[in-house]
C-alpha cells in the first residue's frame, strides 16, 4: 500500500510526501501511488505522542470532578475500578483511540488493567501503543506473585498478537503501591525482554513526604540504589524533585512525561521544566478522569502557559520547543523511529486543515498549533502508513460512542 | 421570525424551546414556527459572554510569542498597531466574529481602534457587542482633547447605527496611559449617556508598583477618590489587588473580568478568585495576540485549572460555577437580559453536538463542557433570535478567512 500526499505544506513550502508500507519513503517527488491525497490548504505534521495516559479511563470522564484527591480516589474512582470488566476496558480504549485519532495522536503510552482487551481495541483502531498492566502489590507477597503472573501473561498475550504497532511494557504503579522486591523483579524482566517501564514518579507532595519519612531517603535515590533508573524508564509527573534527584535522573537518562492539565486539575504541584533541560521531556495527558480529554494540542498550550505563569517568565517553553516535546521527544522516549516528517521515518502523519479561523492569518504555523488550535483542526490521521481518519471521518465512530456510553452507564449502575 | 428547537436537551431532560423575534418565548410546548430545528442529540445552552477582548487583534495571532512583555509590545505589537488602517480593523473584527460564532460566543466586550469599522463587522456578523474606543492620552492635554473628540464621535456613530445588538462603551485603557482629568471626564460622560466603562485594572506587577511609587497610593483607592468606581465599570485582569482594594471594588459593585490564558501567557500573575466571591466575576479571553484564540470553552478549562493549581486546592472554581461565570455573569456584568435558557431572556443560544468523543459518555454535561470539550462542539449558534451558524456552517466564512489573511500580510509588509 502506498500513499502520495501532494502539494502539502511542510515547514514553509509546498511539497509532496510519498509513503510506502509504513515508511515515509520520499519527500519532494510526485510518485504514483495507490492512494493520492490532495494536500492543498493542509499542513503535514508528525503525529502527537502521548507518553502517559490510562486510556480506558475515558469511561470516567466527568464522573467526579472538583473533589479533594483522597476523597475522589476513595469514594469515586477506586470503587468504580473494582467493578471494571474486560469489556469495559475494551470499549473505553476504543473510545480513547477514537478521541486520539480525531485529535491527532498516533501513539500513546498506556497503563491500566485488562490490557489484552485494550490491545484488541488498539489493534482494531490502528494506533501505535505501548501497553502495560498496572502492577500494584501493596507490599503483600501473595499479591506480588499474582501481579507477576498477570504481568507475564499480559506481555505474552500482547507479544502473541504479533502486531508491530503494539508493544507490551511494564507498568509498576508507584513507590507507594509497589514493593522493592517487585520493582527489582520488574526491572530485571524489562531488561530481559528489552521493554520499557512506565511509572508514576513524585506526583504529589504527600507521596514524596511519606516516602522520606518512612525510608529516611529520597525516592529517586532509593530507585537508583535498587538499580531501577534506566534509559528505558518513562517517569510520569516528576514534580516533587530536588536538584540532586534531577541529576540522578540525568545520569541514568530516564525519560520524563510532563502532564500539565492533570497536575493542575488535581493540584499536584508544578513540574519544573527549566531544571529538566538535559533530560528528554515528553508530554502526556494522563487519563480522562483527571484531564478530562486526550487532546495533545490543548495539552501543549496548557503546558507552555503553566510554565510561563508559575515561573513568571513569558519566554519559557516556547512554541517550537513544545511542539518537539509533544512529537519527537515522545518518539525518542518510547524508542520508535518517528516524530518528524523525514524520509525513513515511520509514517505517523497528520494533515492539518489550514482553512480554520484559529489558524488564520497564520503568521507562524507552529505558534498557531500550540497556542490557538486544538485537535479539531486535524483533518487526516495516518498511523503506520494507514489512513485512520480522512476529512474528520473515522470508520465506525457512531458505534463506538454508543457502546462506550452504554458500558459506562452499566458500570455506574452495576 | 420564529424558531422552534424541538426535542433538545435542557439541563437533564428533553424539551422544546420556542423563540420569537429575539426572545425565548416558551419552553416545553411544540409551537408552530417559521423555522424548526431538530434538537435530537443536542444540548441547548446560553451563548458564552466574553467580557474582555480586542477582537481585531486576531490579525496579530502568532505574529510574536514567547517574548518579554516590554520587548513584545515595543518591537512587535505597537509598531504594527501604528500601521493599522480602518479596513484592517473591519476584517480583523470579521475574523474574530467568525471565530466567536464557531466557538459559541454570542456577546463580547471589545476595546480597540476604528470602532465604527468594528461595529460594521459586528452588524454584518450578527453578534451582540459592547464596543469602546481605546482611550489613551498619555497625560498630554492636547492628545486628551483629541481622544475626547474621537470617543464622542465613535459613540455617536455607533448610536446612529440604531442596532440594538451593538452598544457603544467607554474604553479608558489603564491608569498608566490615561490621565486623571480624562478618567473624570470619561466617568461623567458614561453616567450622562448611561454606558459601561471597559478598563484594564492591576494587570501587571509593574503597573501596580509604578503607580504606588509615583502616587504613594494604591490604584483602586485613587480610582475611588476620583469617583471612577461604579457598577457599570468592567475591570479586566484585576490581579495585583489587596484585600482592601477588593473591599472597595465590592463597595462600588465593580464588575470583574478574569482573563486566565492571557495572564498565564504574559506571566502577568494569578487572579485570586476565592477573594472575589462577593463580586460579579465574568470571563474574557483578551485579544488574540496574547491568548491566542477566542474560544471561551477552552478559557473555562484553563481558568478553573489555574485556580486549582496555583492555590493548591482541587475544589476551587468547580465546573458549574465556571459555566455561570462564562455565561450568566457576563450578561450581568454587561447589563443585558441573557445568560440563561429561560422564558423572557434574549435568544442568545447554542446547540451543542452531543455525538462527540469529548462529550462521551457524558456523566455530567457541564463538567464535559468545562473540562473536556472546546468550541468545536458547538453545532448551532443563535444570537438575538437569528441563526448565525447551523451544522457548523457560517455564511461567507471562506471570504473572511481570505480577506483577513490578506490584510494581515499587507499590514506586516506595509
Q: Do domains B2-46+346-397 and B48-334 have the same CATH topology?
A: no
Q: Do B312 and A267 make contact, defined as CB atoms within 8 angstroms?
A: yes
**Confidence at residue B356, expressed as pLDDT on a 0 to 100 scale:** 98
Q: Do A63 and B295 make contact, defined as CB atoms within 8 angstroms?
A: no
**Confidence at residue B3, expressed as pLDDT on a 0 to 100 scale:** 98
Q: Do B61 and A319 make contact, defined as CB atoms within 8 angstroms?
A: no
Smallest Cα distance from A361 to chain B, Å = 4
Which chain A residues are within 8 Å of B301, Cβ to Cβ? Answer: 261, 298, 302
**Confidence at residue A20, expressed as pLDDT on a 0 to 100 scale:** 98
Q: Kindly report the backbone phi and psi dihedral angles of residue A102, in degrees, each rounded to the nearest multiple of 5, phi listed first.
A: -70, -20
**Confidence at residue A272, expressed as pLDDT on a 0 to 100 scale:** 98
Q: Kindly report the backbone phi and psi dihedral angles of residue B198, in degrees, each rounded to the nearest multiple of 5, phi listed first.
A: -115, 125
**Confidence at residue A411, expressed as pLDDT on a 0 to 100 scale:** 96
**Confidence at residue A78, expressed as pLDDT on a 0 to 100 scale:** 93
Second CATH level (architecture) for the domain B2-46+346-397: Roll (2.30)
Spatial neighbors of A406 by CB under 8 A, at least 6 apart, are A91
At B216, the pLDDT band (50, 70, 90 cuts) reads very high
**Confidence at residue A158, expressed as pLDDT on a 0 to 100 scale:** 98
Spatial neighbors of B320 by CB under 8 A, at least 6 apart, are B366
- Find out whether B284 and B259 touch, Cβ atoms under 8 Å: yes
**Confidence at residue B121, expressed as pLDDT on a 0 to 100 scale:** 98
Cell numbers found for residue A70? 483522597
- Return the percentage of chain B with pLDDT > 90, whole number: 99
* Fold adopted by A2-46+347-397: Urease, subunit C; domain 1 (2.30.40)
Average pLDDT of span B44-73: 96
Q: Environment class of residue B313 by beta-carbon count within 10 Å: exposed (0-12), middle (13-18) or buried (19+)? A: middle
**Confidence at residue A296, expressed as pLDDT on a 0 to 100 scale:** 99
- Find out whether A14 and A28 touch, Cβ atoms under 8 Å: no
Average pLDDT of span B259-285: 98
For the stretch B160-177, pLDDT in tens is 999 999 999 999 999 999
Q: How many CB pairs under 8 A join A and B?
A: 206
Smallest Cα distance from A234 to chain B, Å = 24
Which chain B residues are within 8 Å of A401, Cβ to Cβ? Answer: 355, 357, 360
Classify domain B48-334 at the CATH class level.
alpha beta
Mean pLDDT score of chain B = 98
- Residue extents of the structural domains in chain B: 2-46+346-397, 48-334
For the stretch B23-33, pLDDT in tens is 999 999 999 99
Per-residue pLDDT of chain A (414 residues; tens, 9 = 90+): 999 999 999 999 999 999 999 999 999 999 999 999 999 999 999 999 999 999 999 999 999 999 998 899 999 999 999 999 999 999 999 999 999 999 999 999 999 999 999 999 999 999 999 999 999 999 999 999 999 999 999 999 999 999 999 999 999 999 999 999 999 999 999 999 999 999 999 999 999 999 999 999 999 999 999 999 999 999 999 999 999 999 999 999 999 999 999 999 999 999 999 999 999 999 999 999 999 999 999 999 999 999 999 999 999 999 999 999 999 999 999 999 999 999 999 999 999 999 999 999 999 999 999 999 999 999 999 999 999 999 999 999 999 999 999 999 999 998
Q: Do A306 and B66 make contact, defined as CB atoms within 8 angstroms?
A: no
Cα-to-chain-centroid distance, residue A254: 16
3-state DSSP percent of chain A in helix, strand and coil, to 5 = 45, 25, 35
**Confidence at residue B18, expressed as pLDDT on a 0 to 100 scale:** 98
Q: Do A308 and B267 make contact, defined as CB atoms within 8 angstroms?
A: yes
3-state DSSP percent of chain B in helix, strand and coil, to 5 = 45, 25, 35
- Find out whether A234 and A198 touch, Cβ atoms under 8 Å: yes
Q: Do B315 and A68 make contact, defined as CB atoms within 8 angstroms?
A: yes
Q: Which residue has the cell 430545528?
A: B37
Residue B242 Rama label (left phi>0; alpha psi -120 to 50; beta): beta
Which chain B residues are within 8 Å of A361, Cβ to Cβ? Answer: 58-59, 61, 95, 404-405, 408-409
For the stretch B355-413, pLDDT in tens is 999 999 999 999 999 999 999 999 999 999 999 999 999 999 999 999 999 999 999 99
E strands, B136-228, in order:
166-172, 197-201
pTM: 0.98
Amino acid at each position: 500500500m502506498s500513499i502520495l500526499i501532494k502539494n502539502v505544506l511542510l515547514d514553509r513550502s509546498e511539497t509532496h510526501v510519498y509513503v510506502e508500507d509504513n515508511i515515509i519513503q520520499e519527500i519532494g517527488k510526485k510518485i504514483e501511488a495507490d492512494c493520492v491525497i490532495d494536500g492543498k490548504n493542509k499542513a503535514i505534521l508528525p503525529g502527537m505522542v502521548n507518553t502517559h495516559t490510562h486510556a480506558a479511563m475515558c469511561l470516567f470522564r466527568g464522573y467526579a470532578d472538583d473533589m479533594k484527591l483522597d476523597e475522589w480516589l476513595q469514594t469515586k474512582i477506586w470503587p468504580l475500578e473494582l467493578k471494571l470488566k474486560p469489556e469495559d476496558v475494551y470499549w473505553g480504549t476504543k473510545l480513547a483511540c477514537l478521541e486520539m485519532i480525531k485529535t491527532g495522536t498516533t501513539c500513546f503510552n498506556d497503563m491500566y488493567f485488562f490490557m489484552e482487551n485494550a490491545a484488541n481495541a488498539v489493534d482494531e483502531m490502528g494506533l501505535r501503543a505501548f501497553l502495560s498492566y498496572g502492577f500494584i502489590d501493596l507490599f503483600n507477597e501473595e499479591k506480588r506473585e499474582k501481579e507477576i503472573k498477570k504481568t507475564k501473561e499480559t506481555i505474552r498475550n500482547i507479544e502473541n498478537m504479533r502486531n508491530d504497532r503494539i508493544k507490551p511494557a511494564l507498568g509498576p504503579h508507584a513507590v507507594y503501591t509497589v514493593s522493592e522486591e517487585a520493582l527489582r523483579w520488574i526491572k530485571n524482566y524489562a531488561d530481559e525482554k528489552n521493554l520499557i517501564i512506565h511509572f508514576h514518579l513524585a506526583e504529589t507532595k504527600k507521596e514524596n513526604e511519606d516516602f522520606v519519612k518512612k525510608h529516611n531517603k529520597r525516592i529517586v535515590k532509593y530507585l537508583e540504589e535498587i538499580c531501577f533508573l534506566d534509559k528505558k524508564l518513562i517517569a510520569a509527573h516528576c514534580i516533587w524533585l530536588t536538584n540532586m534527584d534531577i541529576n540522578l535522573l540525568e545520569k541514568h537518562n530516564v525519560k520524563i512525561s510532563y502532564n500539565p492539565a492533570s497536575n493542575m486539575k488535581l493540584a499536584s504541584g508544578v513540574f519544573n521544566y527549566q531544571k529538566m533541560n538535559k533530560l528528554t521531556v515528553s508530554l502526556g495527558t494522563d487519563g480522562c478522569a483527571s484531564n478530562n480529554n486526550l487532546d495533545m494540542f490543548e495539552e501543549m498550550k496548557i503546558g507552555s502557559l503553566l510554565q510561563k505563569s508559575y515561573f513568571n517568565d513569558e519566554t519559557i517553553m516556547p512554541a517550537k520547543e513544545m511542539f518537539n516535546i509533544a512529537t519527537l521527544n515522545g518518539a525518542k522516549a518510547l524508542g520508535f523511529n518517528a516524530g518528524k516528517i523525514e524520509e525513513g521515518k515511520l509514517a505517523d502523519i497528520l494533515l492539518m486543515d489550514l482553512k480554520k479561523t484559529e489558524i488564520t492569518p497564520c503568521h507562524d504555523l507552529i505558534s498557531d498549533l500550540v497556542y490557538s488550535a486544538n485537535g479539531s483542526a486535524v483533518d487526516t490521521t495516518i498511523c503506520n502508513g494507514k489512513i485512520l481518519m480522512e476529512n474528520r471521518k473515522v470508520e465506525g465512530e457512531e458505534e463506538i460512542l454508543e457502546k462506550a456510553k452504554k458500558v459506562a452507564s452499566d458500570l455506574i449502575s452495576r
